[in-house]
Every structure is written in structure tokens, then in C-alpha cells.
Chain A
């Protein structure tokens, strides 16, 4: 369903509120039919970018094309986008059916056509039997479904979702994640999803743009972001990452007293300050040997895995090591001396 045809083209978007620049150098495409996430901590500009797509905010500079059409001067009500708001924005004076049918009243549809589409949307989001329920009688999960149905029923080219799951409890959130993904595959509409939850973004998305301070740090598939972070901030944002500081020389990091380590050079990290980045699950522990040696300072037994913290003299932060619980025996005791080893290609050399 995902094709390489761009549905959204963002060109050098800058957004300023007064003297504050909240978005800069935003320049990328979102492809037809993909599940695209904007991931970042609060205040990174991801919601502002979504609101620019919706037409609620206007960019200060740059241009935006949706399905090849320039969107400058096109107000929110004439854009082929619909949004699921963080607060859901369910109209309190209307019931479920009227809420879902709200946007259809602005289209040239006959009454039976509109009714059929509302009924279809209600069953799509599994709200059957609740059509005449009032807004204030709905639970959080139901409100979320109403908001989703209300946007989908208009058959937008792009569906914008502003942290739609953040108000739900954990169990419901995980359920809705699966449903959302399945729904996106069923309807085949491009989803642009804003979230601060990296796990959620990794689970749901075809591609993710990681944002910080109004810029896109890296745009890639979930696997690409996890396996190939371009810089330290992305590495720290997605999953857990051990960082060994030193001076980077191409594919080699000189970590002073700890030694020189080979790795895969990422981004532009040569000649300056850099880091060797190692994922916890890429590390191996042994009673001796290895590239680094230290002592076990913490161990957490998770059943399928064991998480260790290994304090290495000369390193400020202990190394996080995740070991599959395959070996026999009790693993390593607290205070045991261990050697830490990894495959030469597993380490990434990152810039600051």
C-alpha cells in the first residue's frame, strides 16, 4: 500500500511565534499510504508541525504541498486532511452519531449516503449500539473511537493524529495501538501520528521523524533509527544506548586509557569528540577477557532476559548489558568481575 509517491511535501518550513522559532529547516516528504510518526519530547515542535499540516497554523516560511497542491492560503476547512485531537474535541452538545456525521454535513451527500457512511464508520471503530449515546456518557476509549470515526468518515487523504493514545491507560493504549495499525492497513489512508512515546512510534510506524528543538534529527524506519542512529541524541532517544566517550577518527574511537575501539562510523564524526555507541543486547559478558573489564553492580532478572549494570573503571556511567537467559547457571553475581565483549561491527561511532 505504501508507495514512493509523496502525499505531503514539506519544503524549508519555518515557524515562528513572535521572537521564538519553534520549527526550522523542516524539509521532507511523507509517502502515500504510510504510517508516519513525528516523535519527540514535549516542546520539540511536533504538534505545531501537525497543526501546520491541518491548516490550523500557518508556516512563517516555506511551502507545503498536499497531494501535489500548494496549501498556502488554503484554510483548515478546505484541506484534504482531518485530525484526531489530543483532547478528542468531541462536541458535547451532539451525540455519537451527530459527532461522527459532523463533517459529512459539509459535503454534498444525500441523507441516506451520509447515514450509510456514519453507520459504516461506527462499526469500523466498534461503537455499534452507541450511536445515540450522548458525549458525556462515553468513556475515554469510546471518545477516542468517536474522534477517529469522525475524522475517517470524511475520507481524508491524510489523517492527522495528535497523541491520540496518551490519555488512555496502559492496557487500553496497547489495545488501541494494534487496532490503529490494523485500521490504517484497512483504510489505506496516510496517517501522520504525533507522539512522545518512542515505543509507540516504533510499534506503529513505517517511518519516524525524530524531532528536537524544532528540527528533524533523523528520519528513518524504526529499524533504521534503532540500528543506525546518526547522532548521540537520536541514539539516546530510541531505546537504551551505552556511550563511551573519546575522540573519533573515522571508524575508530580513541577512548584514552580504555583503549581504541573499532566501529561503524555514523554521520559526520571524524577528528573530533565522539562516542562509541553500543546497544545493551549486543554486549556479551564472560568471566574474563573481552574488550573492557569491570564489576557487576546491578542485576535484574526479567525471566527471558537478565539486565546487568557493569561498572567499568574510567567510565562515568555503568554499562547496561542485556543477556538472553539461555545459558545454564545463575549468571553473574553482584560484585563479580566480568569481561565485556562485542563484535567489531556492533559498535557505532557517533558525533556529539
Chain B
């Protein structure tokens, strides 16, 4: 008892110090926390809540129900065939668009990585002077708005666009090619172009961090340039490359601006469906349910991807 009394003031002051530190930490975090709560957590919570309600004409029925989610997986005896895949669903549009969006996004992501990696490699290993200038040059496309960049592709690929009129002028074709615009390919191409610069920077940083003596050591130990790249450079730049892939994949799955502008009827993605449900079909609860399912599926795809490449092991070894 007496010991406890003696140590009490000490431990109390230690406690207050700890509380103060804790408060100071949260004080520093608070602006970000406020923004995150107001702009992210609350809207998501509202979306979740909305997805449990029902739209009856112009009325919103607030009785909690899973009907919206159920409708996404209600089976039907009559399959809807999409690219030879039968969907035994009474409302197959969300499922089809989800799969289509993931495939388009993955294609765009792979294209982005294949484009960005060589550029980042060049920047990290070949550019010795004026690196800042190169980085600024790479970001120049971002000085124009995203919308304008997407529109630019419309002008390049369009019926009377740069490619068609160019090919016509040199006499290769006599009428414009129609397959260039308004299809999933045009959307994937536009997405890849729009996101490539975002991918260069994380890959560049991870390449730049590689100790040059590791590369010299690999050569010294008998590696040819290609083997050295595969055995040292690539594994050591994996964290940045994975970050870049996620940075591109996650936002592009839900993109609806690009498909709206260059996708045409065949190029729609899951984001267009959500937009449509909210605005045109006046069924916000179903739109909310589709959005929530989309988020969960993206999270699942990312988790499977990270597990498949052994990301935990890569991270552990980098420390």
C-alpha cells in the first residue's frame, strides 16, 4: 500500500504525459480525420444505409431489406449469354459489367505497367542530369484536365479524327475506320494513357532506391544484363511496381467518365451502371447496392493479387 502510494504520483505523471502525447497526435491528425470522416466515411456509411432501403416510384421505403442485394444474385432458368459465358441470373447486367470492367481495368493496368516500367527505368538508370526536368516533362499531360485528355482521344480516334483523316490523306483507306472509337478497346487505350504517368513515379522511386553496388555485384557474380534485371532489379522494384498497379487498377474499375465519352454502347463499365441507376432509372438503393458490391469485389481481387505474388514476403524482406 505504502509502495503504491509512493509510486502513484510518478505513474500518474507518466500517465498524463502519455495522454498528452496521445492528444497531440490526434490534434495533428484531426484535419485529415475530419476530411476523411466527412468526405469518405460518412458518404460510404450513407451508401451502405441506402442500399438496405427500397425505391417505390418516387417514394423511398426505409424498411431495412436485403432485396437489392438479392436481386443481383436471383437465379433464372433462362441463361443470358455474354461472350459464350452463360449467366443464369434474372438481372445479369451488373455481374456482366463487373466482370467486363475488371477485365478492361486489368488490361489497362498491364498496359500501363508495360509502358511505365521502361520509362521509369530510363529515368532512374540512364538520366544522370536534370532529373527534375524529366519528371516535370512526364507530368505535363496532367496540366490539362482529365476530361480534356479523354476528349483528345475522341479527336484522335473519331470518325473524322486524326488517324482516319491521316490514313485517308495518304490513301490507305477510302472510308473512315469505325472500329477505332466507341468500344472497350478505345476505353482501355484511353485509360492506359491517362494513368501511365501516375505509375511512372512509384516505379521510378523504387528503382532509384536500388543500391547500384547490388547491380555491380550481380554482374560480378556472373549475371548477364538480362539475368541481372530478372534476379535483382525486378524483385527489388516489385513494391513500387505493385503500388503502381494498384494505383491504376482500383480507380479505373469504377471509372464512368472515360466509357461515357469514348466507350459507346459496347464500352460501358460498372460505373456507368451505378450512374444510370442513381440518375436515370431513379433507383438509388439498387445503385448503392451495386456500388457496395463493386467495392467488395475490388478489395477481394486486390487481396487475391497480393496473396498470389507473395506480397507479405516481399514486404518483410525489404525492412
Residue A239, interface by CB 8 Å:
no
| Chain A neighbourhood of B236, CB < 8 A | 92-93
Q: Give B211-252 as 1s and 0s: 1 = Cβ < 8 Å from A's Cβ atoms.
A: 101101111111110010001100110000000000000000
Residue A315, interface by CB 8 Å:
no
Q: Does the CB pair B224–A89 fall under 8 Å?
A: no
Q: Does the CB pair A85–B217 fall under 8 Å?
A: yes
> Whole-angstrom distance between the alpha carbons of A75 and B216 in the complex?
11
The segment from A10-18, A58-66, A102-110, A273-281 found at the interface with B is: A102-110
In the complex, the number of residue pairs spanning A and B with C-beta atoms less than 8 Å apart equals 69
Residue A154, interface by CB 8 Å:
yes
> Whole-angstrom distance between the alpha carbons of A103 and B227 in the complex?
11
| Chain A neighbourhood of B314, CB < 8 A | 93
> Whole-angstrom distance between the alpha carbons of A134 and B220 in the complex?
22
A residues 63-107 in Cβ contact with B at 8 Å: 75-78, 81-83, 85-87, 89, 91-93, 102-103, 106-107
- Known contacts A93-B236, A106-B222, A154-B222; decide if A85 and B213 are in contact (CB<8 Å): yes
Residue A150, interface by CB 8 Å:
yes
> Whole-angstrom distance between the alpha carbons of A107 and B319 in the complex?
31
> Whole-angstrom distance between the alpha carbons of A107 and B213 in the complex?
22
| Chain A neighbourhood of B126, CB < 8 A | none
User: Ordered nearest first, which 3 A-B pairs have the shortest CB separation?
Assistant: A106-B222, A103-B221, A89-B217
| Chain A neighbourhood of B211, CB < 8 A | 87, 89
Q: Does the CB pair A89–B216 fall under 8 Å?
A: yes
Q: Give A48-62 as 1s and 0s: 1 = Cβ < 8 Å from B's Cβ atoms.
A: 000000111000000
Residue B318, interface by CB 8 Å:
yes
Q: Does the CB pair B213–A91 fall under 8 Å?
A: no
Listed by A's residue number, 9 A-B pairs whose Cβ atoms lie within 8 Å are: A56-B219, A76-B220, A82-B220, A85-B217, A91-B217, A93-B314, A102-B231, A106-B227, A135-B317
Q: Measured between C-beta atoms, what is the minimum distance from A258 to chain B in Å?
A: 52
Q: Measured between C-beta atoms, what is the minimum distance from A304 to chain B in Å?
A: 42
| Chain B neighbourhood of A55, CB < 8 A | 219-220
| Chain B neighbourhood of A86, CB < 8 A | 213
- Known contacts A103-B222, A106-B221; decide if A85 and B227 are in contact (CB<8 Å): no
Q: Does the CB pair A82–B221 fall under 8 Å?
A: yes
Residue A223, interface by CB 8 Å:
no
Residue A282, interface by CB 8 Å:
no
> Whole-angstrom distance between the alpha carbons of A106 and B222 in the complex?
6
> Whole-angstrom distance between the alpha carbons of A102 and B318 in the complex?
18
Chain B contact residues, majority secondary structure: helix
| Chain B neighbourhood of A291, CB < 8 A | none
Residue of A nearest to B222 (CB): A106
Q: Does the CB pair B220–A54 fall under 8 Å?
A: yes
Q: Measured between C-beta atoms, what is the minimum distance from A308 to chain B in Å?
A: 46
Taking a contact as CB atoms closer than 8 A, the residue among B214, B219, B222 that contacts A91 in the complex is: B214
- Known contacts A92-B318, A93-B314, A136-B317; decide if A102 and B213 are in contact (CB<8 Å): no
User: Which B residues fall within an 8 A CB radius of A?
Assistant: 211, 213-214, 216-224, 227, 231-232, 235-236, 314, 316-319
> Whole-angstrom distance between the alpha carbons of A151 and B317 in the complex?
22
> Whole-angstrom distance between the alpha carbons of A107 and B221 in the complex?
10
A residues 97-140 in Cβ contact with B at 8 Å: 102-103, 106-107, 134-136
Q: Measured between C-beta atoms, what is the minimum distance from A286 to chain B in Å?
A: 56
> Whole-angstrom distance between the alpha carbons of A174 and B300 in the complex?
55
A residues 22-59 in Cβ contact with B at 8 Å: 54-56
Q: Does the CB pair A102–B218 fall under 8 Å?
A: yes
Q: Does the CB pair A91–B223 fall under 8 Å?
A: no
> Whole-angstrom distance between the alpha carbons of A135 and B316 in the complex?
11
| Chain B neighbourhood of A87, CB < 8 A | 211, 213
| Chain A neighbourhood of B231, CB < 8 A | 102
> Whole-angstrom distance between the alpha carbons of A10 and B218 in the complex?
25
Q: Does the CB pair B317–A76 fall under 8 Å?
A: no
Q: Does the CB pair A77–B220 fall under 8 Å?
A: yes
| Chain B neighbourhood of A134, CB < 8 A | 316-317
Taking a contact as CB atoms closer than 8 A, the residue among A77, A135, A150, A151 that contacts B219 in the complex is: A77
> Whole-angstrom distance between the alpha carbons of A294 and B108 in the complex?
86
> Whole-angstrom distance between the alpha carbons of A56 and B221 in the complex?
12
Residue of B nearest to A83 (CB): B220
Q: Does the CB pair B232–A76 fall under 8 Å?
A: no
Known contacts A56-B219, A83-B216, then 15 further A-B pairs from the complex at CB < 8 Å, ordered by chain A residue:
A54-B220, A55-B220, A77-B220, A78-B222, A87-B213, A89-B217, A91-B218, A93-B235, A106-B222, A134-B317, A135-B317, A136-B317, A150-B217, A154-B221, A154-B222
